[in-house]
Structure 1
Amino acid sequence: MQLVRSLFAVILVAVFSLMPMPLAQAATVAPNENLVTEGIPAIPSALVETVNRYTEFRSAGLSSWHPTKRAMLISTRFGDVPQIHSVQFPLGARKQLTFFAEAPFGATYQPTEGNYFVFSRDVGGNEFNQNYRYDIATGDVTLLTDGRSKNSRGVWSQAGDRMAYTSTRRNGADTDLYIIDPQTPPSNRLLAEVTGGGWYPLDWSPDDRQLLVLEFLSINKSNLWLFDTTTGAKKPLTVQGQEPVAYGGGVFSKDGKGLYVISDRGSEFQRLAYLDLASNRYTDLTSQIPWDVEDFDLSHDGKRLAFVTNEDGASVLHLLETATQKTLPLPTLPLGAITSLSWHPNNQDLGLTLISARSTADVYSLNVATNTVERWTESETGGLNTATFSEPELVRWQSFDNKTISGFLYRPSARFTGKRPVVINIHGGPEGQYRPGFLGRNNFYLNELGVALLFPNVRGSSGYGKTFLKLDNGYLREDSVKDIGALLDWIATQPTLDADRILVTGGSYGGYMSLAVATHYSDRIRAAIDIVGISNFVSFLERTESYRRDLRRVEYGDERDPKMREFLIKISPLNNAEKIKKPLFVIHGQNDPRVPLNEATQIVATVRQNNIPVWSLVAKDEGHGFAKKKNVDFQFYATVLFLQNYLLQADTADGARQ
Structure 2
Amino acid sequence: MAAAQTTNITPSDNLVVEGIPPIPTTLVESVERYTNFRSASLSNWHPKRREMLISTRFGDTPQVHLVKFPLGARKQITFFPERVGGGSFQPTQGDYFVFSKDIGGNEFSQNYRYDLATGEVTLLTDGKSRNAGGAWSTKGDRIVYTSTRRTGKDNDFYIIDPKNPKTDKLLAQSEGGGWGALDWTPDDTQILITEYVSANESYLWLMNATTGEKKLITPKGGKEKISYDGGIFTKDGKGLYSITDKESEFSRLAYIDLSTNKHTFITSNIPWDVEDIDLSEDGKNLAFVTNEDGASILHLLDTATNKEKPLPKLPVGQVYGVTWHKNNEDLGFTLVSARSTADVYSLNIRTNKVERWTESETGGLNTSNFTDAQLVRWKSFDGKTISGFIYRPPAKFKGKRPVIIDIHGGPEGQSRPGFLGRNNYYLNELGVALLFPNVRGSTGYGKTFLTLDNGFKREDSVKDIGALLDWIAQQPDLDKDRVMVTGGSYGGYMSLAVSTNYADRIRGAIDIVGISNFVTFLEKTEGYRRDLRRVEYGDEREPKMREFLLKISPVNNAQKIKKPLFVVHGKNDPRVPLNEAEQIVATVKKNNVPMWYLMAKDEGHGFSKKKNIDFQFYATVMFVKEHLLK
Could you say which TM-score interval applies, normalised by the shorter chain? over 0.9
SS of 2:5's partner is helix
Residue identity matched to 2:578: L
Which residue of 1 is the match for residue 105 of structure 2? Answer: 125
Once the two structures are TM-superposed, the CA of residue 23 in structure 1 deviates from its matched residue by 10
Instruction: Provide the C-alpha distance between the structure 1 equivalents of 2:11 and 2:410, rounded to a whole number of angstroms.
Output: 29
- Larger radius of gyration, structure 1 or 2? 1
**Contact 1:26/1:45 (8 A) holds in 2:** no
Residue identity matched to 2:156: D
Instruction: Determine if the alignment matches structure 1 residue 292 to structure 2 residue 273.
Output: yes
SS of 1:637's partner is helix
SS of 1:592's partner is coil
Q: Which runs of 5+ in 1 are unaligned?
A: 1-21, 650-658
Matches within 5 A, 1:24-103: 25-103=5-83
Instruction: Determine if the alignment matches structure 1 residue 506 to structure 2 residue 487.
Output: yes
Once the two structures are TM-superposed, the CA of residue 273 in structure 1 deviates from its matched residue by 0.4
Which residue of 1 is the match for residue 458 of structure 2? Answer: 477
SS of 1:608's partner is helix
Of 96, 103, 122, the match for 1:142:
122
Which residue of 1 is the match for residue 413 of structure 2? Answer: 432
CA gap of 1:23–1:380, structure 2 versus 1, over 3 A, is closer
Which residue of 1 is the match for residue 172 of structure 2? Answer: 192
Residue identity matched to 2:255: Y
Of 387, 392, 414, the match for 1:406:
387
Which residue of 1 is the match for residue 207 of structure 2? Answer: 227
Residue identity matched to 1:327: E
Once the two structures are TM-superposed, the CA of residue 27 in structure 1 deviates from its matched residue by 1.1
Matches within 5 A, 1:526-605: 526-605=507-586
Of 195, 198, 201, the match for 1:215:
195
Percent same amino acid among aligned pairs?
A: 72
Instruction: Provide the C-alpha distance between the structure 2 equivalents of 1:106 and 1:370, rounded to a whole number of angstroms.
Output: 29
**Contact 1:588/1:617 (8 A) holds in 2:** yes
Which residue of 2 is the match for residue 105 of structure 1? Answer: 85
Instruction: Provide the C-alpha distance between the structure 2 equivalents of 1:554 and 1:437, rounded to a whole number of angstroms.
Output: 30
SS of 1:647's partner is helix
**Contact 1:158/1:207 (8 A) holds in 2:** yes
**Contact 2:64/2:86 (8 A) holds in 1:** no
Once the two structures are TM-superposed, the CA of residue 462 in structure 1 deviates from its matched residue by 0.1
Instruction: Determine if the alignment matches structure 1 residue 357 to structure 2 residue 357.
Output: no
Which residue of 2 is the match for residue 251 of structure 1? Answer: 232
Which residue of 1 is the match for residue 501 of structure 2? Answer: 520
Residue identity matched to 2:553: S
Instruction: Provide the C-alpha distance between the structure 2 equivalents of 1:284 and 1:499, rounded to a whole number of angstroms.
Output: 47
Which residue of 1 is the match for residue 162 of structure 2? Answer: 182
Residue identity matched to 1:642: F
Of 425, 428, 433, the match for 1:444:
425
Matches within 5 A, 1:279-358: 279-358=260-339
Which residue of 2 is the match for residue 161 of structure 1? Answer: 141
Which residue of 1 is the match for residue 241 of structure 2? Answer: 260
Residue identity matched to 2:430: L
**Contact 2:138/2:187 (8 A) holds in 1:** yes
Instruction: Provide the C-alpha distance between the structure 2 equivalents of 1:209 and 1:106, rounded to a whole number of angstroms.
Output: 27
Instruction: Provide the C-alpha distance between the structure 2 equivalents of 1:23 and 1:428, rounded to a whole number of angstroms.
Output: 34
**Contact 1:106/1:153 (8 A) holds in 2:** no
Residue identity matched to 1:612: V
Which residue of 2 is the match for residue 643 of structure 1? Answer: 624
Once the two structures are TM-superposed, the CA of residue 103 in structure 1 deviates from its matched residue by 0.8
How big is each residue's C-alpha offset from its partner over 1:329-383, in whole Å with a ceiling of 9 and x where there is no partner? 0000000000110000000000000000000000000000000000000000000
Instruction: Provide the C-alpha distance between the structure 1 equivalents of 2:205 and 2:261, rounded to a whole number of angstroms.
Output: 13
Instruction: Provide the C-alpha distance between the structure 2 equivalents of 1:26 and 1:92, rounded to a whole number of angstroms.
Output: 44
Instruction: Provide the C-alpha distance between the structure 1 equivalents of 2:511 and 2:6, rounded to a whole number of angstroms.
Output: 30
Residue identity matched to 1:50: S
Once the two structures are TM-superposed, the CA of residue 81 in structure 1 deviates from its matched residue by 0.4
Instruction: Provide the C-alpha distance between the structure 2 equivalents of 1:304 and 1:58, rounded to a whole number of angstroms.
Output: 32
**Contact 2:3/2:10 (8 A) holds in 1:** no
Instruction: Provide the C-alpha distance between the structure 2 equivalents of 1:408 and 1:279, rounded to a whole number of angstroms.
Output: 44
Residue identity matched to 1:301: D
SS of 1:504's partner is strand
Instruction: Provide the C-alpha distance between the structure 2 equivalents of 1:132 and 1:89, rounded to a whole number of angstroms.
Output: 26
Which residue of 2 is the match for residue 491 of structure 1? Answer: 472
**Contact 1:408/1:455 (8 A) holds in 2:** yes
Instruction: Provide the C-alpha distance between the structure 2 equivalents of 1:201 and 1:254, rounded to a whole number of angstroms.
Output: 18
Which residue of 2 is the match for residue 274 of structure 1? Answer: 255
Instruction: Provide the C-alpha distance between the structure 1 equivalents of 2:618 and 2:160, rounded to a whole number of angstroms.
Output: 45
**Contact 2:53/2:86 (8 A) holds in 1:** no
Once the two structures are TM-superposed, the CA of residue 552 in structure 1 deviates from its matched residue by 0.2
Once the two structures are TM-superposed, the CA of residue 33 in structure 1 deviates from its matched residue by 1.3
Which residue of 1 is the match for residue 597 of structure 2? Answer: 616
How big is each residue's C-alpha offset from its partner over 1:273-332, in whole Å with a ceiling of 9 and x where there is no partner? 000011221100000000000001000100000000000000000000001000000000
Instruction: Provide the C-alpha distance between the structure 2 equivalents of 1:343 and 1:23, rounded to a whole number of angstroms.
Output: 48
Instruction: Provide the C-alpha distance between the structure 2 equivalents of 1:614 and 1:354, rounded to a whole number of angstroms.
Output: 38
SS of 2:629's partner is coil
Aligned pair count reads 628
Instruction: Provide the C-alpha distance between the structure 2 equivalents of 1:544 and 1:24, rounded to a whole number of angstroms.
Output: 39
Once the two structures are TM-superposed, the CA of residue 414 in structure 1 deviates from its matched residue by 1.1
**Contact 1:313/1:463 (8 A) holds in 2:** yes
Instruction: Provide the C-alpha distance between the structure 2 equivalents of 1:326 and 1:440, rounded to a whole number of angstroms.
Output: 38
Of 590, 612, 622, the match for 1:631:
612
Instruction: Provide the C-alpha distance between the structure 1 equivalents of 2:11 and 2:433, rounded to a whole number of angstroms.
Output: 28
Instruction: Provide the C-alpha distance between the structure 2 equivalents of 1:23 and 1:213, rounded to a whole number of angstroms.
Output: 52
Q: Which runs of 5+ in 2 are unaligned?
A: none
Once the two structures are TM-superposed, the CA of residue 24 in structure 1 deviates from its matched residue by 6.1
SS of 1:102's partner is coil
**Contact 2:3/2:9 (8 A) holds in 1:** no
**Contact 1:259/1:276 (8 A) holds in 2:** yes
Instruction: Provide the C-alpha distance between the structure 1 equivalents of 2:513 and 2:76, rounded to a whole number of angstroms.
Output: 31
Once the two structures are TM-superposed, the CA of residue 25 in structure 1 deviates from its matched residue by 3.0
**Contact 2:63/2:86 (8 A) holds in 1:** no
**Contact 1:116/1:135 (8 A) holds in 2:** yes
How big is each residue's C-alpha offset from its partner over 1:22-61, in whole Å with a ceiling of 9 and x where there is no partner? 9963410111111000000000110000000000000000
SS of 1:345's partner is coil
Instruction: Provide the C-alpha distance between the structure 2 equivalents of 1:44 and 1:312, rounded to a whole number of angstroms.
Output: 41
RMSD: 0.8
Instruction: Provide the C-alpha distance between the structure 1 equivalents of 2:219 and 2:265, rounded to a whole number of angstroms.
Output: 17
Once the two structures are TM-superposed, the CA of residue 263 in structure 1 deviates from its matched residue by 0.3
Which residue of 2 is the match for residue 422 of structure 1? Answer: 403
Q: TM-score, normalised by structure 1?
A: 0.95
Residue identity matched to 1:84: V
Instruction: Provide the C-alpha distance between the structure 1 equivalents of 2:293 and 2:140, rounded to a whole number of angstroms.
Output: 38
Instruction: Provide the C-alpha distance between the structure 2 equivalents of 1:218 and 1:612, rounded to a whole number of angstroms.
Output: 38
Instruction: Provide the C-alpha distance between the structure 1 equivalents of 2:374 and 2:395, rounded to a whole number of angstroms.
Output: 15
